[in-house]
Amino acid sequence: MFNQFEKNLRRLFEKNSIHFSENGKFYKFRPLFEAVETIFFTPAIPAGCPPFVRDGIDLKRFMSIVLLALMPPLFFGIYNTGYHSLAASGIELHFLNIIISGLLTVMPLIIVSYAAGFFWEILFAVIRKHPISEGFLVTGLLFPMTLPPTVPLWQVAVGISFGVVIGKEVFGGTGRNIFNPALTARAFLFFAYPAKMSGDRVWVAVSDTASTAISAVTGATPLAVAALSPSFDNIESMLQSAGFTLSTLFIGHYPGSVGGTSALCCLMGALILIITGVASYRIIIGGVAGLLLTSFLLGIVSTAPLNPWIDINPLYHLAAGGFAFGIVYMATDPVSGPGTNTSKWFYGFFIGMMTVLIRIFNPAYPEGVMMAILFMNLFAPLFDFIEIRMHVSKRIVNV
Amino acid sequence: MKTVKIKKGWQFKIAGKPSHRIENRPAITHVAFVPDQIPFVKPRLMVQVGDKVKIGSILFEDKKRPGLKFLSPGCGKISDVTFGPRRVIHEIVIALDNDERFKTFEILTEPVLEQIERKLLIDRLMNGGMWPFVRQLPFRQIADPDSLPNAVWVSLGSADPFQPSAHIYLKGQTDFFEFGIKALRRLADTVNICRYNETPVKSDSTANYVTHRLFGKYPASDPGVVLYHTKKNAAENRDWYIDGQDVIQLGKFLKTGAYPIDRMVSFSDGSFENSCHLKTRMGIRLKDLAPGIINDHRKRWVVGGVLSGYTSIRDDFLDLHQTSVMLMDESHESELFGFVRPGFKKLSNSRSVISAFSSAPLPINSDMHGEQRPCINCGYCAKICPVDIMPQYTFKSIYADEIEEALACGLLDCVECGLCSFVCPSKIELTDFLVDAKHRYHKEINQGV
Point out the residue among B233, B390, B431 whose CB comes nearest to the CB of A396: B233
Contact state of A62 with B352 under an 8 Å Cβ cutoff: yes
Contact state of A339 with B421 under an 8 Å Cβ cutoff: no
Distance from CA of A339 to the nearest CA of B (A): 6
Contact state of A48 with B371 under an 8 Å Cβ cutoff: no
How many domains is chain B built from? Answer: 2
Q: Write out chain A's pLDDT in tens, 399 residues.
A: 677 887 888 888 878 878 887 777 788 777 788 888 877 887 888 888 889 999 989 898 999 999 999 999 999 999 999 998 888 877 778 889 899 999 999 999 999 999 999 999 989 988 888 888 888 899 999 999 999 998 999 999 999 999 999 999 999 888 899 999 999 999 999 999 888 777 666 777 765 443 333 333 444 566 665 555 444 455 666 677 667 788 888 888 888 888 888 999 999 999 999 999 999 999 999 999 999 999 899 888 876 566 666 777 888 888 877 899 999 999 999 999 999 999 999 999 999 999 998 888 876 666 789 999 999 999 999 999 999 999 999 999 988
| Euclidean distance between the first and the last CA atom of chain B, given in angstroms as a whole number | 39
pLDDT number for residue A305: 60
Of A301-305, B389-393, B398-402, the one with minimum mean pLDDT is A301-305
d(CA A232, CA B255): 94
CA-based nearest residue to A266, from A319, A192, A228, A226: A319
Q: Is residue A118 part of a domain?
A: yes
**What torsion do the CA atoms of B349, A137, B332, B162 make, to the nearest 10 degrees?**
-10
Which pTM does this prediction carry?
0.90
How many domains is chain A built from? Answer: 2
Q: To probe the interface with A, which of B230, B302, B328, B368 has the most A CB atoms within 10 Å?
A: B368
Please report which confidence band the pLDDT of residue B31 belongs to, taking 50, 70 and 90 as the band edges. Answer: very high
Peptide bond into A363 cis (omega under 30): no
Would you call A46 helix, strand, or coil by DSSP?
strand
Q: Which residues contact B443 (CB under 8 A, 6 or more apart)?
A: none
B265 and B378 within one domain: no
Phi-psi domain of B413 (left: phi exceeds 0; alpha: psi -120 through 50; beta: other): alpha
A287 and A226 within one domain: yes
Distance from CA of A71 to the nearest CA of B (A): 15
pLDDT number for residue A363: 65
Kindly tell me if the per-residue pLDDT of B416 is higher than 70: yes
A232 and A381 within one domain: yes
Distance from CA of B101 to the nearest CA of A (A): 38
Instruction: Give the structural domain span for A182.
Output: 60-197
Give the DSSP letter string of A104-166.
HHHHHHHHHHHHHHHHHHHHHHHHHT-PPPTHHHHHHHHHHHTS-TT--HHHHHHHHHHHHHT
Q: Is residue A26 part of a domain?
A: no
Phi-psi domain of B142 (left: phi exceeds 0; alpha: psi -120 through 50; beta: other): beta
Instruction: Give the structural domain span for B382.
Output: 348-354+363-445
B393 and B290 within one domain: no
B272 and B226 within one domain: yes
Contact state of B418 with A6 under an 8 Å Cβ cutoff: no
Contact state of B335 with A275 under an 8 Å Cβ cutoff: no
Contact state of B408 with A339 under an 8 Å Cβ cutoff: no
B367 and B326 within one domain: no
d(CA A158, CA A147): 13
A242 and A157 within one domain: no
Query: Chain A partners of B431 at a C-beta cutoff of 8 Å?
Result: 49-51
Q: Which residues contact B43 (CB under 8 A, 6 or more apart)?
A: B35, B60, B61, B62, B63, B70, B89
Query: Chain A partners of B347 at a C-beta cutoff of 8 Å?
Result: 53, 55-56
Query: Chain B partners of A397 at a C-beta cutoff of 8 Å?
Result: 234, 408
Per residue in B102-121, pLDDT (tens digit) is 999 999 888 888 888 999 99
Cβ–Cβ < 8 Å for B328, B365: yes
Judged by a CB distance cut-off of 8 A, whether residue A1 touches chain B is no
Q: Is residue B80 part of a domain?
A: no
Q: What are phi and psi of A335, to 5 degrees?
A: -70, -45
pLDDT number for residue B334: 77
Q: Which residues contact B40 (CB under 8 A, 6 or more apart)?
A: B64, B139, B141, B142, B439, B442, B446
Query: Chain B partners of A40 at a C-beta cutoff of 8 Å?
Result: 336-337
Contact state of A64 with B340 under an 8 Å Cβ cutoff: yes
Of A9-13, B59-63, B158-162, the one with minimum mean pLDDT is A9-13
Query: Chain B partners of A396 at a C-beta cutoff of 8 Å?
Result: 231-234, 237
Contact state of A56 with B348 under an 8 Å Cβ cutoff: yes
Give percent of chain B with pLDDT exceeding 90: 67
Please provide the size of chain B in residues. 449
Would you call A222 helix, strand, or coil by DSSP?
helix
B402 and B291 within one domain: no
pLDDT number for residue B280: 94
B148 and B2 within one domain: yes
B369 and B424 within one domain: yes
Judged by a CB distance cut-off of 8 A, whether residue A278 touches chain B is yes
CB pairs under 8 A between A and B: 213
Give the DSSP letter string of A291-317.
HHHHHHHHHHH--S---GGGSS-HHHH
Distance from CA of B321 to the nearest CA of A (A): 17
Q: Which residues contact A252 (CB under 8 A, 6 or more apart)?
A: A76, A80, A261, A262, A263, A264, A265
Contact state of A55 with B423 under an 8 Å Cβ cutoff: yes
Per residue in B349-378, pLDDT (tens digit) is 999 888 888 888 999 989 998 889 999 999
pLDDT number for residue B271: 86
Give the H/E segment covering residue B444.
Answer: helix B430-445
Contact state of B373 with A175 under an 8 Å Cβ cutoff: yes
Give the H/E segment covering residue B276.
Answer: strand B276-281
Please provide the size of chain A in residues. 399
A193 and A105 within one domain: yes
Judged by a CB distance cut-off of 8 A, whether residue A17 touches chain B is no
Distance from CA of B133 to the nearest CA of A (A): 22
Per residue in B217-259, pLDDT (tens digit) is 989 999 999 999 999 999 899 999 999 999 999 999 999 999 9
Name residues 22-51 of chain A within 8 A of B (Cβ).
Answer: 38, 40-51
Q: Is residue B295 part of a domain?
A: yes
d(CA B224, CA A249): 54
- Could you tell me where the beta strands, DSSP code E, fall in A23-77? 41-42
A227 and A153 within one domain: no
Contact state of A44 with B331 under an 8 Å Cβ cutoff: yes
Q: To probe the interface with A, which of B12, B137, B362, B366 has the most A CB atoms within 10 Å?
A: B366
Task: Give the helix, strand, coil percentages of chain A, each rounded to 5.
Answer: 65, 0, 35
- Could you tell me where the beta strands, DSSP code E, fall in chain A? 41-42
Contact state of A335 with B376 under an 8 Å Cβ cutoff: yes
- Could you tell me where the beta strands, DSSP code E, fall in B85-238? 89-96, 135-136, 141-142, 151-156, 190-196, 212-216
A226 and A166 within one domain: no
Judged by a CB distance cut-off of 8 A, whether residue A19 touches chain B is no
Rounded CA Rg of chain B: 22
B397 and B254 within one domain: no
A216: number of Cβ within 10 Å: 10
Q: Which residues contact B310 (CB under 8 A, 6 or more apart)?
A: A50, B37, B302, B303, B304
d(CA A262, CA B168): 61
B5-25 burial by CB neighbour count: b if 16+ within 10 A, else e? ebebbbeebbebbbeeeeeeb
A227 and A313 within one domain: yes
B295 and B162 within one domain: yes
Q: What is the mean pLDDT of residues B128-142?
A: 93
B267 and B164 within one domain: yes
